[in-house]
């Protein structure tokens, strides 16, 4: 195998302190297995980039003190309502929040995958999202018909420029990888954009399969090639209690249980202790199974 | 939200999609998802076609190019209508999805702006909705502008709000004046009750003046056919994405 297959704990140990970590939205396979491992490892100081939104993953990482900065177009628990630890942390000033809008995240990652320093984006002008982003700029469209700065027009077609976002790590969960490290992502192409833009891509998968995922033309376009993949860890059920497209449905009862528990810091601590104990038990079982091979 | 009120809001939102070709529904938007799917079923019933994109769904979302595709489509003018709600909405059509207080020192945090700061500029018909119609939500001036109702001349803006549907009434948005006009009252509401619970001034339909509520239309009730579609078809279609809301729709 050209891409190392690690345990989940080894995988998250590759994430350096202070890293900018890009994660997908709830419908696109966040790695809750890696989230638990990051918390268990006592990681702190990470910066989280939601591509472009996040839910329980962000809320867990914020509540556990793993991240101290979040860039997101939204953080909430889907149909289960607001993300309680996120909202509490923002109101308390415990995290730095960089408010953005969905297409700005996608576009800034596209700039990075093209090796460009910035990218223009429509909309935004007159919003407070733009007003509170000193890293974004507004220029006049230099190609505007009959205008533009070159023509000396006072204000011709202003447009926002966003600096490229280059995450240190893209982190997600996917149904399968092959032994070469190619990862099946299906139609969830934001995972490809994340991986293209990021310096390293760490993936947890349900399983590792024999044969090359790139061998069949019918499915090759749904594959993130190993070229972009730094390391893979097998973590069955690694998206739970979120769903994984084409593989497993969301566990709504468990998400509702989390949403209730996390309303208070005490409730969150109790939930987290239980979650980590379960994860440790599962890891021990997996280790024992490996040892028995 | 009672089933009858849910059905009224869904049909009121669906009514605003008549004659369109393509509608998209964002994340965490159960009412608009049901409305878009109802509008699609209505269109099919008369041999028309309404492309319906429900984000978060796999069955009702044709996109294959990731999260960016909706926004790329919108910028090209391929999306006719989109729905936006708000923690606060003001009389100038500004929407706040970020929080209350003096940003960034917020007293209450909402989830975030999602795609509003972009889609509100580019989609021709942005339909605003919020079931809670109170002075807490419909404020004189939003604390944070996720998406402005109107833009300065010279700003590229083919789109913007066209309507606001609440639990009490429906407004149209007058883009030239940057104000809402009351267009219909839900059953049981009066001009006075709407004014009492609205934190901003709004216009009355042409010719209404001070004549009272007699001539302000009542929001059309769902038809028998609408209710049948909601129970027998739409409840099943939204269940994949909004299982809790689907149970409500199944009971209309």
Q: Does A156 touch chain B (CB under 8 A)?
A: yes
Alpha helices in chain A (DSSP H): 8-12, 32-40, 56-63, 84-92, 102-113, 128-131, 190-197, 217-220, 252-261, 265-291
What is the span of the domain harbouring residue A193?
Answer: 5-101+167-291
Residue A110 within any structural domain of the chain: no
Assign A283 a pLDDT band (cuts: 50, 70, 90). low
Residue A109 within any structural domain of the chain: no
| A149 pLDDT above the threshold of 70 | no
Q: Which residues of B touch A191 (CB under 8 A)?
A: 66
Distance from CA of B183 to the nearest CA of A (A): 27
Q: Does A104 touch chain B (CB under 8 A)?
A: yes
A199 and A56 inside one domain:
yes
A136 and A211 inside one domain:
no
Q: Does A14 touch chain B (CB under 8 A)?
A: no
Residue A190 within any structural domain of the chain: yes
Average pLDDT of the residues in A236-240: 97
**What pLDDT, on a 0 to 100 scale, did the predictor assign at position B48?**
96
Strands B105-109 and B99-102 turn out to be: antiparallel
Residue A112 within any structural domain of the chain: no
| A153 pLDDT above the threshold of 80 | no
| A284 pLDDT above the threshold of 70 | no
| A185 pLDDT above the threshold of 70 | yes
Contact A123 B27 (CB under 8 A): no
C-alpha distances (whole Å) from B46 to each of A235, B49, B82, B227, B237 are: 49, 9, 23, 17, 20
For chain A, percent of residues with pLDDT exceeding 90: 85
Q: Which residue has the higher pLDDT, A206 or A285?
A: A206
Q: Which of A141, A163, A185 is the last residue of a domain?
A: A163
Residue A230 within any structural domain of the chain: yes
For chain B, percent of residues with pLDDT exceeding 90: 90
A159 and A171 inside one domain:
no
**What pLDDT, on a 0 to 100 scale, did the predictor assign at position B142?**
98
Q: Does A211 touch chain B (CB under 8 A)?
A: no
> Average pLDDT, whole number, for chain A?
92
Q: Which residues of B touch A189 (CB under 8 A)?
A: 64-69
Between A and B, how many CB-CB pairs are < 8 A? 156
Q: Which residue has the higher pLDDT, B79 or B244?
A: B79
What is the span of the domain harbouring residue B35?
Answer: 3-250
For chain B, percent of residues with pLDDT exceeding 70: 96
A131 and A216 inside one domain:
no
| B211 pLDDT above the threshold of 60 | no
- Residues A96 and A69: beta-carbon distance below 8 Å: yes
Biggest distance spanned by C-alpha atoms of chain B: 54
| A67 pLDDT above the threshold of 70 | yes
Nearest to B151 among A52, A90, A126 (CB): A126
CATH number at residue A188: 3.40.1080.10
**What pLDDT, on a 0 to 100 scale, did the predictor assign at position A282?**
64
Q: Does A28 touch chain B (CB under 8 A)?
A: yes
Dist CA B146 CA B4 (whole Å) = 31
A254 and A242 inside one domain:
yes
Number of other residues whose CB lies within 10 A of the CB of residue A249: 10
Contact B114 A53 (CB under 8 A): yes
pLDDT in tens, A258-272: 999 999 999 999 999
CATH number at residue B194: 3.40.1080.10
Split into its structural domains, chain B has a count of 1
Residues 101-160, chain B, touching A (beta carbon < 8 A): 103-122, 144-148, 151-152, 154-156
pLDDT in tens, B33-66: 999 999 999 999 999 999 999 998 889 999 999 9
Assign B222 a pLDDT band (cuts: 50, 70, 90). very high
Split into its structural domains, chain A has a count of 2
**Residue-level length of chain A:** 293
Nearest to A128 among B111, B144, B245 (CB): B144
Spatial neighbors of B195 by CB under 8 A, at least 6 apart, are none
């Amino acid at each position: 195998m050209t891409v190392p297959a690690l345990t989940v704990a080894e995988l998250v140990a590759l994430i350096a302190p202070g890293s900018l970590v890009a994660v997908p939205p709830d419908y696109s396979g966040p790695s809750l297995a890696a989230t638990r491992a990051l918390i268990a490892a006592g990681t702190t100081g990470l910066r989280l980039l939601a591509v472009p939104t996040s839910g329980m993953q962000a809320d867990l990482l914020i509540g556990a003190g793993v991240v101290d900065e979040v860039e997101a177009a939204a953080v909430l628990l889907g149909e289960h309502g607001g993300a309680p630890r996120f909202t509490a942390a923002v109101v308390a000033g415990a995290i730095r929040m960089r408010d953005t809008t969905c297409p700005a995240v996608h576009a800034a990652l596209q700039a990075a995958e093209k090796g460009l320093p910035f990218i223009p984006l429509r909309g935004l002008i007159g919003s407070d999202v733009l007003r509170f982003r000193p890293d974004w700029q507004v220029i006049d469209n230099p190609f505007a018909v009959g205008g533009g700065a070159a023509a000396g027009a006072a204000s011709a077609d202003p447009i926002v420029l966003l600096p490229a976002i280059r995450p240190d790590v893209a982190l997600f969960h996917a149904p399968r990888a092959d032994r070469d490290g190619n990862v099946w992502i299906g139609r969830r192409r934001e995972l490809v954009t994340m991986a293209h833009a990021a310096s390293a891509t760490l993936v947890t998968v349900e399983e590792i399969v024999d044969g090359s995922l790139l061998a069949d033309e019918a499915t090759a376009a749904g594959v993130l090639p190993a070229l972009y993949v730094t390391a893979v860890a097998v973590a069955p059920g690694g998206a739970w209690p979120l769903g994984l497209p084409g593989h497993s449905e969301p566990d709504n009862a468990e998400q509702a249980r989390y949403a209730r528990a996390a309303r208070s810091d005490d409730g969150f601590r109790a939930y987290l202790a239980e979650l980590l104990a379960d994860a440790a038990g599962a890891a021990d079982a997996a280790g024992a199974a490996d040892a028995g091979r | 939200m009672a089933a009858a009120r849910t059905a009224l809001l869904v049909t009121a939102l669906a009514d605003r999609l008549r004659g369109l070709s393509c509608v998209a529904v964002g994340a965490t938007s159960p009412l608009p998802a049901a409305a878009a799917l109802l509008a699609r079923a209505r269109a099919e019933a008369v041999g028309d076609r309404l492309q319906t994109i429900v984000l978060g769904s796999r069955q009702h979302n044709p996109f294959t190019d990731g999260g960016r595709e909706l926004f790329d489509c919108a910028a090209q003018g391929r999306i006719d209508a989109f729905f936006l709600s708000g923690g606060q909405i003001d009389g100038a059509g500004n929407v706040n999805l970020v929080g209350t207080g003096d940003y960034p020192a917020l007293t209450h945090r909402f989830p975030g702006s999602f795609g509003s700061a972009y889609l509100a500029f580019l989609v021709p018909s942005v339909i605003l909705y919020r079931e809670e119609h109170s002075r807490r939500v419909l404020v004189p001036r939003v604390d944070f502008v996720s998406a402005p109702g109107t833009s300065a001349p010279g700003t590229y803006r083919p789109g913007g709000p066209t309507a606001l549907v609440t639990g009490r009434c429906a407004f149209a948005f007058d883009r030239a004046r940057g104000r809402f006009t009351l267009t219909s009252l839900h059953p049981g509401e009066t001009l006075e009750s709407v004014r009492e619970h609205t934190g901003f001034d709004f216009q009355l339909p042409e010719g209404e003046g001070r004549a009272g509520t007699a001539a302000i239309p009542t929001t059309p009730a769902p038809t028998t056919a609408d209710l049948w579609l909601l129970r027998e078809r739409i409840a099943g279609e939204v269940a994949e994405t909004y299982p809790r809301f689907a149970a409500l729709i199944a009971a209309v």
